[in-house]
Structure 1
Amino acid sequence: MCRSLRGGISPRFLPVSRVQPAMPTLHTPLCAAVGIDYPIVQAPIGSVSCPELAAAVSDAGGLGMLAVTWRDLDETRTVIEETQAATDAPFGVNLVLDPEARQRPTADHLDACLDAGVEIVSFAFGDGSAYVDRVHDAGRLVMQTVGSVAEAETAIDAGVDVLVAQGWEAGGHVQSDVATMPLVPQIADAAAEDDVPVVAAGGIADGRGVAAALALGADGAWLGTRFVAAEEAAAHQEYKRSVGQAPSEATVHSQLFDKGWPGTDHRTLRNSTVEDWIAAGKPPAGDRPGEDETVASDAAGNPVERYGDDPPLPDMEGNVEALPMYAGQSAGLATDVLPADEIVSTLVDEAREAAHTLGERTSG
């Protein structure tokens, strides 16, 4: 497998001529490894991920992903089968390993995914080493999200096929204390000797960010916030609008929405719940304003608490604005709600243009 120039731009990303730079291609080792056209990965954005979104991204040439950790085994099989029926392109599933987040054994969940025929399994918030052989024995690929070089080295030693380097700017639950720009090249350097493709995650929402990720030595970009604002995403319309209207400084890194997954950092948009908590002096769990208050309900009429970890979903009613709207510092770049295929094509066009412009600016 051909590797990118670590610490620099991928050879497939470089302009052909220094005199009249040609529009670069975006085919990287990630594309070859997972069978996609473009190095664009839709992050598994929790309950907001769905077969319609994953299939649309994969059909557009990127890699769609499903979050299945919070689904039971039958529902996991169902969403995989629905995605398979909607696309012939590769897609993946994500399993969170943190026992605080899980409601069923990882091994059982993994078996359900593999038995359903999923081709790519992504692990996060824990060491997936114990499951790598199981995935490989089934002839499938393993991705592992990491937040440090040490985690990356452990994953490489375990034989993972693709690393996802998640920086601190990311939306949703965050497992790194390091920003994307310094983290990605360090992990890319660590992965270079073993030819493990690296995907950059955190703070990327347009083609310039994709181009920057490739320039840092990554082989692809992992975008969550941008795809929350996709037409196919299973997010409440108020959530989508809020992401599109929010500037980067409108996000907060905390452990505030901890009912369901305690003790894990996450990044959300500022909303009434966040503002009231800040105004009260950021009290700990048990002393927060409206601690046990129900602010919304789901389609079945089940109560949704203020500090729960459920984001606003399409079928929720009530004060959905008060719920956690997970978003990264790239929120200010996700300005429009668009079809997923248009998001992918725009990202590709913008990344090519950014690389072309860089070539023109440096060719003299």
Structure 2
Amino acid sequence: MTLSTSLCETLGIDHPIVQAPIGSATRPELAAAVSNAGGLGTLAVTWRPPEKAAEFVERTRDLTEAPFGVNIVLDPDAKEVATEDHLDAVLGADVPIVSFSFGDATPYIDHVHDADAKALVTVGSAEEAERVADAGADAIVAQGWEAGGHVQSEVATLPLIPRVDDAVDVPVIAAGGIADGRGVAAVLAAGADGAWLGTRFVATEEAAVDSLYRERIVEADETDTLYSELFDVGWEGMPHRVIRNSTVEDWEKAGRPKSGERPGEGEVIAEYPGGYPIERYGDDLPMEGVEGDLEALALYAGQSSGLTDEIQPAGDVVTELVQETETRIEATASLIE
């Protein structure tokens, strides 16, 4: 038995496992490790200048001959670089796959296709999926409410996947709440053609994060996350899911006050190498090299953190996911006499 779906044929990958673009936690070493293991590695480039985005693509190309992708966030409140500039940079560096999220991707799909690349688009509803599929998207990422990081859906993953599957004729990738082969098998049974995992790949050796962040994911239970708009300095108004920490606890003890009245608001609690400050309630995660009160920063993670109990190389994660999924599918099939 070999785990392969229509998504694999569309993207040129061996297994329907996609590493989500986990913001600043991504780097070429992580994306390449996932792609070399047969999945699809992805780079987040939204918060990098175009020349750095192109450099990330080139560095990843040096580490793998397999397909990989980049993600571009479209919400103007989250970025300082025009989408067109990012697209020109990464397509000029010959990235084979571009995914879009948090905004209207329809104006950019033809641009991607003109460069002989594939376009993936993240959605939160069947209506949105149908619209971007009609615009030419090569695959749809249906993100459920359980997801970590910034979330663009109010629907849970399992109700969302069949709806999106019924609405489009292109491969569907399920995102949100998936961390092991049981979850992959479940979304495949629900109509998805692949699985998109973020939290699980933050807890890998290649992720560009401080060890405290990885350890908090491993220690967390499924009930230890908060869905809110709390960490809004840098990206106002976008809901997200994080692991509860001291910043969350102090805010809740204060009665969950609105922005402008929160405890410690405006306080600098950490800094990047070079001294660039990070405020409490900033949307910055504990990247490798950041110093300060790292535990109090945004610890983005989904409800699947309760299923993540080990820090591993990313390639091993892909291999285990495939094996677990195959085992679960075979076990389920055996229930039919």
TM-score by length of 1: 0.92
| Separation of aligned partners in 1, 2:82 and 2:333 | 50
Q: Which residue of 1 aligns with 2:162?
A: 185
**SS of alignment partner, residue 227 of structure 2:** strand
| Separation of aligned partners in 1, 2:54 and 2:110 | 21
2:215 aligns with one of 241, 252, 260:
241
| Separation of aligned partners in 1, 2:276 and 2:173 | 37
1:32 aligns with one of 9, 15, 28:
9
Task: Kindly tell me the number of residue pairs found equivalent between the two proteins.
Answer: 337
Q: Is the 8 A contact 2:47 2:79 kept in 1?
A: yes
Identity %: 58
Q: Which residue of 1 aligns with 2:182?
A: 208
Question: C-alpha displacement at 1:106, in angstroms?
Answer: 0.6
Which structure 2 segments of 5+ residues have no match? none
Q: Which residue of 1 aligns with 2:329?
A: 355
> Per chain length, whose mean CA-contact separation is higher, i.e. which structure has more relative contact order (CA < 8 Å, sep 6+)?
1
Q: Is the 8 A contact 2:112 2:119 kept in 1?
A: yes
Q: Which residue of 2 aligns with 1:329?
A: 303
Q: Which residue of 2 aligns with 1:113?
A: 90
Q: Does 1:59 align with 2:7?
A: no
1:284 partner amino acid:
K
Alpha-carbon displacement from aligned partner over 1:68-91 (angstroms, at most 9, x marks no partner): 000001111111111010101000
Alpha-carbon displacement from aligned partner over 1:8-55 (angstroms, at most 9, x marks no partner): xxxxxxxxxxxxxxxx42110000000111000000000001100000
**SS of alignment partner, residue 144 of structure 1:** strand
1:185 partner amino acid:
P
Alpha-carbon displacement from aligned partner over 1:269-318 (angstroms, at most 9, x marks no partner): 00000010111111111100000111111111221111111100110111
1:273 partner amino acid:
T
Question: C-alpha displacement at 1:127, in angstroms?
Answer: 1.2
2:316 aligns with one of 339, 342, 353:
342
Q: Which residue of 2 aligns with 1:80?
A: 57
| Separation of aligned partners in 2, 1:219 and 1:288 | 43
**SS of alignment partner, residue 253 of structure 1:** strand
**SS of alignment partner, residue 257 of structure 2:** coil
| Separation of aligned partners in 2, 1:54 and 1:25 | 23
**SS of alignment partner, residue 162 of structure 2:** helix
1:278 aligns with one of 252, 269, 278:
252
Question: C-alpha displacement at 1:102, in angstroms?
Answer: 1.4
Larger Rg: 1
Q: Is the 8 A contact 2:127 2:167 kept in 1?
A: no
**SS of alignment partner, residue 231 of structure 2:** coil
Q: Does 1:160 align with 2:133?
A: no
| Separation of aligned partners in 1, 2:312 and 2:22 | 17
1:162 partner amino acid:
A
| Separation of aligned partners in 2, 1:314 and 1:291 | 24
Q: Does 1:220 align with 2:194?
A: yes
| Separation of aligned partners in 2, 1:338 and 1:259 | 32
2:336 partner amino acid:
S
Q: Which residue of 2 aligns with 1:267?
A: 241
Q: Is the 8 A contact 2:121 2:132 kept in 1?
A: yes
**SS of alignment partner, residue 336 of structure 1:** coil
| Separation of aligned partners in 2, 1:105 and 1:313 | 24
Q: Is the 8 A contact 2:226 2:242 kept in 1?
A: yes
| Separation of aligned partners in 2, 1:83 and 1:223 | 19
1:317 aligns with one of 273, 291, 294:
291
**SS of alignment partner, residue 346 of structure 1:** helix
CA RMSD, Structure 1 to Structure 2 (Å): 0.7
Q: Is the 8 A contact 2:271 2:277 kept in 1?
A: yes
Which has the larger displacement, 218-227 or 96-105? Answer: 96-105
Question: C-alpha displacement at 1:131, in angstroms?
Answer: 0.5
Q: Does 1:131 align with 2:108?
A: yes
**SS of alignment partner, residue 187 of structure 1:** helix
Question: C-alpha displacement at 1:220, in angstroms?
Answer: 0.2
| Separation of aligned partners in 2, 1:267 and 1:86 | 32
| Separation of aligned partners in 2, 1:95 and 1:363 | 43
| Separation of aligned partners in 1, 2:129 and 2:164 | 7
**SS of alignment partner, residue 70 of structure 1:** coil
1:108 partner amino acid:
D
**SS of alignment partner, residue 248 of structure 1:** coil
| Separation of aligned partners in 1, 2:113 and 2:55 | 23
Which has the larger displacement, 45-54 or 293-302? Answer: 293-302
| Separation of aligned partners in 1, 2:75 and 2:164 | 22
| Separation of aligned partners in 2, 1:343 and 1:103 | 34
| Separation of aligned partners in 2, 1:138 and 1:73 | 17
| Separation of aligned partners in 2, 1:341 and 1:112 | 28
Question: C-alpha displacement at 1:363, in angstroms?
Answer: 2.5
